[in-house]
Structure 1
Amino acid sequence: MELFSDTTFWVAAAFFVFVGILIYVKVPATVTALLDKRSATIKAELDQARALREEAFAALSTWKTRQAEAASRADQVLADAKAEAQALAAQAAIDLDAAVARRTQQALDRIAQAEQKAAAEVRAAAVDAAIAAARDVIAKSLGPAEQAALIDKAIADTGRRLH
């Protein structure tokens, strides 16, 4: 009888009765079903997470490819721009050399024209001086009768020289 007065016995008996009721009510099957359902939900979420991860890696790969292409295009545009700038600089140097040569030639032509004009003016001044000197010499050395004869001869020669 001591067995019935021991509290440990009653706790053990209550536990086994409680477990028996739970088995009878099929609580373990319900718990198992809930756990299976939760497991299926977690598996679906993991599958979805894997799919999203794969999409993210695919998008990242696509983005890296596009970035590399854009960098390549930018490098090509930069190289083309540098080449064009060098070509323009070379053409500008050629044009500048041509302009300098053209201006130098124009200056030389102007100098030659100025020299010719100066020489013509010197010749004209020399001719004028020679004529004035000749006139003075002739006027002083010839008398009025000889001067009139020279004038008549010059008038006669003028008609012959003009035709």
Structure 2
Amino acid sequence: MSNVFHEAGFWYTVSFVLFFVIFGPKIWKPVVQVLDARANRIRVELDEAARLRREAEQMLEDATREREQAHAEANALMEQTRKQAEELAVRARTEAEDMLQRREQMARDRISAAERAAIDEVRAAAVDVAFESARLVMGEGVDAGTAASMVDKAIADLPTALSARAA
């Protein structure tokens, strides 16, 4: 037995046990308090992380819902715009056709007026030429009695000529 008391390992073990028996409760309490405080801090951080995760998930759900609503609104707006564009195109096409018909009618009216004016000018020119020719012929070879009879005959034929011209 004397051998056991002379070995360093024995005394090292005895001193280690005595150290913990004497100072253990004094050291153990602060170490346990530090470890408990750290465990509490970690628990609070985990709770905060869980709360933040729930908030983030809620925000993600809200953002997804808002994105879907915005997408639906955008689709509805695009559909409404497309319909309005189609209506405008139909209205513009109708207005263009109406304007084309009005211009075509105006052109026809102008052509008719120009034709009437040309016919009137030709008639007036023909009348002028006829009067000038008649004046020249009458002045050269018709005596006063013949001229008077021709004028009387023309006055008598005037109603027939006017009714033929009106038709």
For 2:145, the aligned partner's letter is E
Q: Which residue of 1 aligns with 2:51?
A: 51
1:142 and 1:49 map into 2 onto residues whose CA distance is 133
Deviation per CA, 1:5-41, whole angstroms, max 9, x where unpaired? 1111111111111121134x34334433332232222
Q: Percent identity?
A: 34
For 2:117, the aligned partner's letter is K
Q: Which residue of 2 aligns with 1:122?
A: 122
* Structure 2 portions without partners, runs of 5+: 156-167
Q: Does 2:145 correspond to 1:146? A: yes
1:20 and 1:40 map into 2 onto residues whose CA distance is 28
* Structure 1 portions without partners, runs of 5+: 158-163
For 1:9, the aligned partner's letter is F
1:27 and 1:102 map into 2 onto residues whose CA distance is 109
Deviation at 1:75, TM superposition (A): 2.1
Q: What is the number of residues matched between the two proteins? A: 151
Q: State how 1:4-153 maps to structure 2 within 5 Å.
A: 4-23=5-24, 25-143=25-143, 145-146=144-145, 150=148
1:2 and 1:141 map into 2 onto residues whose CA distance is 188
Deviation per CA, 1:61-87, whole angstroms, max 9, x where unpaired? 111111222222222222222222222
Deviation at 1:131, TM superposition (A): 1.9
For 2:7, the aligned partner's letter is D
For 1:107, the aligned partner's letter is A
For 1:87, the aligned partner's letter is E
Deviates more, 1:65-74 or 1:41-50: 65-74
